[in-house]
Amino acid sequence: MKILTAPRMERCIGCHSCSLACARLVHKMLSWDMAGIRIASSGGLSTGFEARTCLACLPAPCAAACPTGAYAQRKGGGVIVRKNLCIRCGKCADACPVDAVFLAPDGEPFVCIHCGRCVVYCPHDCLELTDVGTEGAEESNARESAS
Amino acid sequence: MTGETREQFKVLVVDLPAGRGAITSLEGRDSLAGGSGLTAMLFDRYGLPDRPWDDPEQPLIFAIGPLTGYFPLMSKTVCAFKSPYHDQYAESHAGGRSALSLRFAGFDALVIRGKALAPSCLSVGSRHLELKDVHFLWGMDLLRTGKMLRRMYEGSGHRSILRIGPAGENGSAMACINVDTYRHFGRLGCGAVMGAKNLKGIVILGDGSSPLPEGKAYPKLFTEVYRKMTDTDMMEKYHNFGTPINMAILNGISALPIRNLQKTSDPGIEGITGETFARDTLLRNAACAGCPVGCVHLGFVRERFMEENRYLYRQVSYDHEPIFAAGAMLHVTNAFSVLTLLDTVEREGLDIMSAGVALAWATEALEKGIVTTRETIVPLKFGDETAYREGFHHLGAASNDFYRLLAQGTMKAAEHYGGADFACVLGQEMAGYATGEVFFVSQALGLRHSHLDAGGYSYDQKDKEPDVDGAVRFLVQDEQARVLLTSMVSCLFARGVYGDQVLSDCLRSLGYLNLADGLGDVSRNVRKLRWRTRLRTGFDPRTVSIPKRFLEVETWRGRIDSAYLNALKDAYAGAILALGEEDA
């Protein structure tokens, strides 16, 4: 079981290639927001950058907060989201302690599915897909759930 | 895309006195692409060629291109305005997050008209338009203004903050617009245009999204282009030492302007080469949004402010041109001193290239007794960092009549006080290349009066024999290739990757089929429209003169050939007139 981590954000140059790749490849959108990883300056450009992405909580507070079962715990950490079950209530985003869930203007949630497609687009190797050694959820399910 | 056709530009036109805006859809995509072409078209529509630059109705225009955000290094914005420097149509380009912010805000261009009733900050986004009274920021230096605006507005990381410093408020023709702390719309005084509009800041919130084309063609092409930018050595020059690599190269071939262009080579330049900056001062790199190359080099200034070991530090971006202007031209040959001066200039909101060259002229004028310290206030002296720190502050603050006039352009001051022979002005204060006749003519007559109008500096370095027709042909063709890129709006560092075929493929993958097929016509259209717009605002290339100092330059090829330079100038002026008058 793999999760996306951002262990070397001190190297980040703020190019946004990771989040643009997520939006492009996972969500088929041109967007800074509709992505599972979003880059923010941490108090202005002079202080560097931080990645807003799912920390793969286990248990995940967003899944616990979801009233319709659209969010399910992902084995190894993180969540699987079934958007056809989502009522756009926004409780997932409220529950996330690290602002990792983006809500589109219509309430659609966007959260990292730990697929790692952003990793290869980082020119400075800031990101990493880390094996947490748990077997379980299939990546195909996860991808499907994001579309 | 969301509803509007690909052939139309979506433009937000803001009426500052009313604090309101209107969306306008305009035809022209297939013939002008965007960027430079779009700004010229919008100036044709909204500009007032016969009225002065600070007429409240003159537009301040920002535009991006069809590929912005969709492909890497399509990361620049074109700003167009009537310039306080020469009261003619002008363009300045910048990166940072401005381009992607405009893309995600949903606009091809932003046009700002009128004058706000009080010092204000305009914020726009995909679902947002607001004009906020920020009278409390008026007079504040540029960096502190940025910090305040950052706190006042939401959207960290996904927005662009444009702002001016005191120079822009004072109507300086050298006032820049700072973009996201480390990038600038630097040249020809657009900062003063913002100041004249009572606009201290502009915040562009990139909070919108749009669907991408179905299928695999677009993401596949994206990856191919991205790999060329990152996996090959094509961009090595830009992300390794960055543009300051030119310092040692130009110094080595006696083509670096030093001490107000009294010299073109000096052993002391060793202290301010790109290699020295990288080894001693480089703190980290940064990138424009949408560019994995990361050419932005950030050095640091460290200052002991108390006897006890109490220090502060600040980060300062550097590049070849700023190092030339605050270093070589002033003969300041210590890298940390140069960074300190860049930091000072940044606070004032001045264009470092114009400001550095202006103080270099003032220093020589003081040496020659043309002006005294009654005018310069401080005893400006080549190599004296402390004096230049004060000098830059006086220039930004327009502290007396001398600095007020100098801030309108070095030649304006020289016309009043004398010393025009050694004013290093090629349309505006020179860029950092003393390579020879073709570059001097290219900057003096080029539309932006920039080293980037055409590659005259590289033509010179190929050690060609004087060839007026060949050089003019090169300038005209190279300009055409560059305006195609500045209409997309690509970073010009990517010009090796974005050839016509790649551009055409990129446009096709997004559904811009007519545009993809018509790039030759587009670049000709844009070039013609830009020159026509420029000429309509009063530019006459036949009247441009090149100061005597440029004829005294010695490069590795020997003395400048004044007969060649003059013949080239006349021939290029004729070519420009022909380009602009075509079908007019």
Instruction: Give per-10-residue mean pLDDT for chain A (147 aa).
Output: 95 97 97 97 84 96 98 96 98 97 97 97 96 59 39
Q: Give Cα B447 to chain centroid, integer Å.
A: 12
Q: What is the mean pLDDT of residues B100-105?
A: 98
Bridge partners of A126, per DSSP, are none
Query: Cα–Cα distance between B360 and B346 in angstroms, integer?
Result: 18
Kindly report the nearest CA distance between residue A23 and chain B, in angstroms. 9
B20: left (phi over 0), alpha (psi -120 to 50) or beta: beta
The DSSP output letter for B278 is I
Domain at B3-205, CATH homologous superfamily:
Aldehyde ferredoxin oxidoreductase, N-terminal domain (3.60.9.10)
Q: What is the pLDDT of residues B497-516, one digit of tens each?
A: 999 999 999 999 999 999 99
Query: Is A84 part of any domain?
Result: no
**Candidate CATH numbers 3.20.10.10, 3.20.20.120, 1.10.1660.10, 1.10.599.10; the one for domain B429-581:** 1.10.599.10
Number of domains within chain A = 1
Query: Cα–Cα distance between A143 and B325 in angstroms, integer?
Result: 52
Q: What is the mean pLDDT of residues B471-490?
A: 97
Evaluate the CA torsion angle B192, B540, B421, B565 in order and state its sign: positive
Give me the pLDDT at residue A89, please. 98
Q: Do B289 and A38 touch (CB under 8 A)?
A: no
Q: What is the pLDDT of residues B511-548, one digit of tens each?
A: 999 999 999 999 999 999 999 999 999 999 999 999 99
Q: What is the pLDDT of residues B207-222, one digit of tens each?
A: 999 999 999 999 999 9
Residue among B104, B206, B315 minimizing CB distance to A46: B315
Banded pLDDT at B583 (limits 50, 70, 90): low
Q: Do A32 and B100 touch (CB under 8 A)?
A: yes
- pLDDT above 80: residue B582: no
Rounded to 5°, angle at Cα B362 from B359 and B366: 140
Question: Could you give the ipTM of this predicted complex?
Answer: 0.91
Q: Give Cα B175 to chain centroid, integer Å.
A: 11
- pLDDT above 80: residue B2: no
How do the domains of chain B map onto residue ranges?
3-205, 238-417, 429-581
Kindly report the nearest CA distance between residue A45 and chain B, in angstroms. 7
Give me the pLDDT at residue B581, please. 82
CATH number, domain of A113, equals 3.30.70
Q: What is the pLDDT of residues B28-63, one digit of tens each?
A: 999 999 999 999 999 999 999 999 999 999 999 999
Residues of chain A neighbouring B222 (CB-CB closer than 8 A): 24
Banded pLDDT at B428 (limits 50, 70, 90): very high
Give me the pLDDT at residue B188, please. 98
Q: Which domain holds residue A49?
A: 2-57+98-140
Give me the pLDDT at residue B149, please. 97
Answer for the pair B390, B377: CB distance below 8 angstroms, yes or no: yes
Answer for the pair B550, B437: CB distance below 8 angstroms, yes or no: no
Higher pLDDT, B574 or B464: B574
Phi, psi dihedrals of residue B555, rounded to the nearest 5°: -115, -175
- Tell me the CA distances in angstroms from B584 to A14, B36, B580, one per residue in order: 45, 19, 7
Give me the pLDDT at residue B35, please. 98
Answer for the pair A68, A81: CB distance below 8 angstroms, yes or no: no
Q: What residues contact B276, with CB distance under 8 A and at least 6 apart? A: B270, B335
Q: Do A28 and B214 touch (CB under 8 A)?
A: yes
Q: What is the pLDDT of residues B314-363, one digit of tens each?
A: 999 999 999 999 999 999 999 999 999 999 999 999 999 999 999 999 99
Q: What kind of architecture, by CATH, is found in domain B238-417?
A: Orthogonal Bundle (1.10)
* CB pairs A-B closer than 8 Å: 93
Answer for the pair B39, B106: CB distance below 8 angstroms, yes or no: no
Give me the pLDDT at residue A135, please. 53
- Among B107, B158, B316, most A C-beta atoms within 10 A, so best to mutate, is B158
Q: For chain B, say whether A9 makes contact (Cβ under 8 Å).
A: no
Largest alpha-carbon pair distance within chain A? Answer: 42
Q: What is the pLDDT of residues B70-88, one digit of tens each?
A: 999 999 999 999 999 999 9
Three-class DSSP category at B234? helix
Arithmetic mean of pLDDT over chain B: 96
Give me the pLDDT at residue A134, please. 57
Give me the pLDDT at residue B584, please. 44
Banded pLDDT at B238 (limits 50, 70, 90): confident
Which one, of B21, B22, B13, lies nearest residue B63 by Cα?
Answer: B13
Give the residue on A whose Cα is nearest the Cα of B298. Answer: A46
Q: Is A140 exposed, middle or buried (0-12, 13-18, 19+ CB in 10 A)?
A: exposed
- Among B2, B179, B209, B301, most A C-beta atoms within 10 A, so best to mutate, is B209
Residues of chain A neighbouring B157 (CB-CB closer than 8 A): 14, 32, 38-41, 49
Q: What residues contact B369, with CB distance under 8 A and at least 6 apart? A: none
Q: Give Cα B373 to chain centroid, integer Å.
A: 32
Measure CA of the first residue to CA of the last residue in chain A; give whole Å.
21
Q: Do A15 and B219 touch (CB under 8 A)?
A: no
Three-class DSSP category at B515? helix
Query: Cα–Cα distance between B560 and B547 in angstroms, integer?
Result: 13
Tokens of B57: 């109705």
Three-class DSSP category at A40? strand
Kindly report the nearest CA distance between residue B210 and chain A, in angstroms. 5
Query: Is A19 part of any domain?
Result: yes
Query: Is A71 part of any domain?
Result: no
Q: Do A38 and B292 touch (CB under 8 A)?
A: no
Could you write out the DSSP letters of every residue in B444-504? HHSTT-STTSS-HHHHHHT-PPP-HHHHHHHHHHHHHHHHHHHTTT--GGGGGT--HHHHH
Give me the pLDDT at residue B170, please. 96
Q: Do A15 and B180 touch (CB under 8 A)?
A: no
Q: For chain A, say whether B289 makes contact (Cβ under 8 Å).
A: yes
Answer for the pair A59, A73: CB distance below 8 angstroms, yes or no: yes
Question: What pairing do the DSSP bridges indicate for beta strands A128-131 and B8-15?
Answer: unpaired
Residues of chain A neighbouring B212 (CB-CB closer than 8 A): 24, 28-30
Query: Cα–Cα distance between B243 and B427 in angstroms, integer?
Result: 23
Q: For chain B, say whether A108 makes contact (Cβ under 8 Å).
A: no
Query: Is A78 part of any domain?
Result: no
Give the residue on B whose Cα is nearest the Cα of A17. Answer: B290
Q: What is the mean pLDDT of residues B94-98?
A: 97
Pseudo-torsion of CA B41, B5, B73, A123, nearest 10°?
Answer: 160
Give the residue on A whose Cα is nearest the Cα of B105. Answer: A31
Q: Tell me the CB-side half-sphere exposure of residue A81, using CA atoms within 13 A.
A: 24
Tokens of B446: 């080029």
Query: Cα–Cα distance between B25 and B9 in angstroms, integer?
Result: 5
Q: What is the mean pLDDT of residues B128-155?
A: 97
DSSP alpha helix (H) spans, B92-161: 98-105, 142-152
Answer for the pair B444, B427: CB distance below 8 angstroms, yes or no: yes
Query: Cα–Cα distance between B518 and B512 in angstroms, integer?
Result: 10
Q: For chain B, say whether A39 makes contact (Cβ under 8 Å).
A: yes
Rounded to 5°, angle at Cα B406 from B402 and B411: 125
Residues of chain A neighbouring B103 (CB-CB closer than 8 A): 30
- pLDDT above 50: residue B230: yes
Q: For chain A, say whether B147 makes contact (Cβ under 8 Å).
A: yes
Residues of chain B neighbouring A38 (CB-CB closer than 8 A): 157-158
Query: Is A25 part of any domain?
Result: yes
Residue among B158, B292, B315 minimizing CB distance to A17: B292
Answer for the pair B424, B410: CB distance below 8 angstroms, yes or no: yes
Q: Do A30 and B100 touch (CB under 8 A)?
A: no
Banded pLDDT at B3 (limits 50, 70, 90): very low
Q: For chain B, say whether A23 makes contact (Cβ under 8 Å).
A: yes
- pLDDT above 60: residue B19: yes
Give me the pLDDT at residue A142, please. 44
Q: What is the mean pLDDT of residues B148-156?
A: 94
Q: What is the mean pLDDT of residues B120-140?
A: 98
Query: Cα–Cα distance between B100 and B464 in angstroms, integer?
Result: 41
Give the residue on A whose Cα is nearest the Cα of B161. Answer: A44
Give me the pLDDT at residue A50, please. 95
Kindly report the nearest CA distance between residue A50 and chain B, in angstroms. 9
